[in-house]
Structure 1
Amino acid sequence: MQTSVMAMKSYRFQAELFVRDYFLTDPFVPYTSVLCGIFMCKMAYDLTQLISSFYFKGYASLTKIQRIEWNNRGMSSAHAVFITTMSLYLVFFSDLFSDHREGLVTVRSSNLSTFVLGVSIGYFISDIAMIFWLYPLLGGMEYVFHHLLSLCGISYAMLAGEAQVYTYMLLISEATTPGVNLRWFLDTAGMKRTNAYLINGVLMFFAWLVARILLFVYLFYHIYLHYDQVEQMHTFGYLLTFVVPSVLAIMNLIWFSKILKGLKKQLAKRQ
């Protein structure tokens, strides 16, 4: 028994050394993190398929395309939970982007922050590959544009180490993704007339308002307060800091208006 415990501790120690000396070594972080992101997406996709086939009786009766989208949405929900948690931690709870630290907040990064961005890039690569593969069944041109814009901004922040604070603020908006996916799950499962569908719509409205409207107001306010630091960035990074949030904010407002219109229509039917 004691020998097995010692062996487990030894394996754990070796694994920690491997992660520290290889995966989190500066030159390898961008590459290994993207590969990890793609691998995690594959795992999430397969786990969604496995769990759904066991615990959701209607899964087998779905069409092939519906099952692919079902699994894809499980994958995107897993990424959303991961990236939202890490983004909230890095922006609001860690001291990486704190104003109390010395140096420009716009050029701060760490191995952890770079690694997490790489994982997110791995997700966007995986998802856009599936969108192109089945286009337009998994999403139209607006999804392609959204993903390409996200890939451009996240890749620059990861490789250049600039504007990571604003990249993570944008990624917090992924908090709305599980709610959007759950709405599709409920609709596909024939539960559109249930209370669960209505509650999901209400929660989605407030989540979108906070994570994709008010958060963007805070982001632009942060840029305003730190503009003297923003203008010291490279020209491409400076442009991305304004272009990416502005375009995404417009898209968020358009989608928010559709959510509000759908919620009003649903509430009217209940009266």
Structure 2
Amino acid sequence: MDPFSQLILTISVASFFTFQWLFHSVSPWMSTRVSEGFLRLTHKQKIEWNSRTVSTFHALVVGLFCIYILIFDDAVNQDPVWGDPTLVKINVGITTGYLISDLLLIFYYWKAIGDKFFVVHHMAALYAYYYVLGQGMLPYFANFRLLAEFSTPCVNQRWFFEVLGYPKSSKPNIVNGVLMAAVFFLVRIAVMPLYYGSMYSVWGTEAFYRVPPGGRAAWICSSICLDIMNVMWMHKIARGCYKVLRCGSLRKAETQENGKAE
């Protein structure tokens, strides 16, 4: 194993243990000091709270790294199939450690946070990232996928508000709900034409045929699988956003009718 591959393996392992540490130690310690409501949660709710806290941290770290690569990594942007994958591998290595850590927690705490869709999502992503880390192929597409992480903090915040008892018609809930729907749409749905357009632009080229059949299957199948789930989630989020806005409108109309705030 060459020195850089050893470095990526070290990053992935360090990422795994870091996210385990964040889940078991940092999140419980920090949450008790940030929110008094954390202490009133049930055991299952505390498990999910810690899981979502870690998820938000991961999303912000890799999401910002992803933006940096998309803007400044010319090698990857100019050759999306075989461009220099150094920075992408580091970012994917961090995500790989997180995904394995999260899968372990999902299976161990299945009654609290078990979700078959998340298992499918994580497995599909790991299958595709195996080729990125192992052979350095498709760095642009692997990094582009990580843009989706920017929707995670708002999704998690929605759950935090719900479990803390914030009314759906409250201003923080409404603002977060609208922001969540908008960001989710932008980074997971609206980018689909650009993503598949880039895929089409390299289809049939010499660089494309250098990708082994297994790599092509991982690239195409995982992309389709993930986007089907993204569309399903977008549908649920849009319905939830509509309900939140409707509750807010009804409450505002009721307040105006009564001539006073409740």
TM-score bucket (shorter structure): 0.7 to 0.9
CA distance in 2, matches of 1:139, 1:191: 24
- Give the deviation of 1:53 after TM superposition: 1.0
Aligned residue-pair number: 244
Task: Please tell me whether the aligned partners of residues 183 and 200 of structure 1 are also in contact (alpha carbons under 8 angstroms).
Answer: yes
Match of 1:91 among 66, 70, 75: 70
- Give the deviation of 1:67 after TM superposition: 1.1
Q: The residue matched to 1:97 in structure 2 has which SS? A: helix
- Give the deviation of 1:107 after TM superposition: 1.7
Instruction: Provide the TM-score with structure 2 as the length reference.
Output: 0.88
CA distance in 2, matches of 1:182, 1:230: 40
- Give the deviation of 1:136 after TM superposition: 4.2
CA distance in 1, matches of 2:91, 2:188: 21
Task: Please tell me whether the aligned partners of residues 131 and 138 of structure 1 are also in contact (alpha carbons under 8 angstroms).
Answer: yes
| Corresponding residue of 1:231 | 209
| Corresponding residue of 1:198 | 174
Task: Please tell me whether the aligned partners of residues 157 and 167 of structure 1 are also in contact (alpha carbons under 8 angstroms).
Answer: yes
Q: Quick check: 1:186 aligned with 2:161?
A: yes
Q: Quick check: 1:128 aligned with 2:103?
A: yes
Sequence identity (%): 26
Q: Quick check: 1:210 aligned with 2:186?
A: yes
CA distance in 2, matches of 1:105, 1:170: 13
**RMSD of equivalent CA atoms:** 1.6
Q: Given residue 171 of structure 1, which amino acid in structure 2 is its aligned partner?
A: L
Structure 1, residues 91-124: CA drift from partner, whole Å, max 9, x if none? Answer: 232223132xxxx431223433222211110000
Q: The residue matched to 2:147 in structure 1 has which SS? A: helix
CA distance in 2, matches of 1:27, 1:108: 17
Task: Please tell me whether the aligned partners of residues 158 and 164 of structure 1 are also in contact (alpha carbons under 8 angstroms).
Answer: no
Alpha-carbon distance change, 183 to 144 in structure 1, aligned in 2, over 3 angstroms: same
Task: Please tell me whether the aligned partners of residues 80 and 141 of structure 2 are also in contact (alpha carbons under 8 angstroms).
Answer: no
Q: Quick check: 1:50 aligned with 2:25?
A: no
For residues 18-167 of structure 1, what are the structure 2 equivalents within 5 Å? 25-45=3-23, 46-99=25-78, 104-167=79-142
Structure 1, residues 236-255: CA drift from partner, whole Å, max 9, x if none? Answer: 11122211111111111111
Task: Please tell me whether the aligned partners of residues 231 and 238 of structure 1 are also in contact (alpha carbons under 8 angstroms).
Answer: no
CA distance in 1, matches of 2:66, 2:201: 20
Task: Please tell me whether the aligned partners of residues 53 and 60 of structure 1 are also in contact (alpha carbons under 8 angstroms).
Answer: yes
- Give the deviation of 1:224 after TM superposition: 1.2
Task: Please tell me whether the aligned partners of residues 170 and 216 of structure 1 are also in contact (alpha carbons under 8 angstroms).
Answer: no
Q: Which runs of 5+ in 1 are unaligned?
A: 1-23
Q: Given residue 39 of structure 2, which amino acid in structure 1 is its aligned partner?
A: A
Task: Please tell me whether the aligned partners of residues 76 and 85 of structure 2 are also in contact (alpha carbons under 8 angstroms).
Answer: no
Structure 1, residues 69-103: CA drift from partner, whole Å, max 9, x if none? Answer: 1111111111101111111111232223132xxxx
| Corresponding residue of 1:13 | none
CA distance in 2, matches of 1:106, 1:29: 22
Q: The residue matched to 2:112 in structure 1 has which SS? A: coil
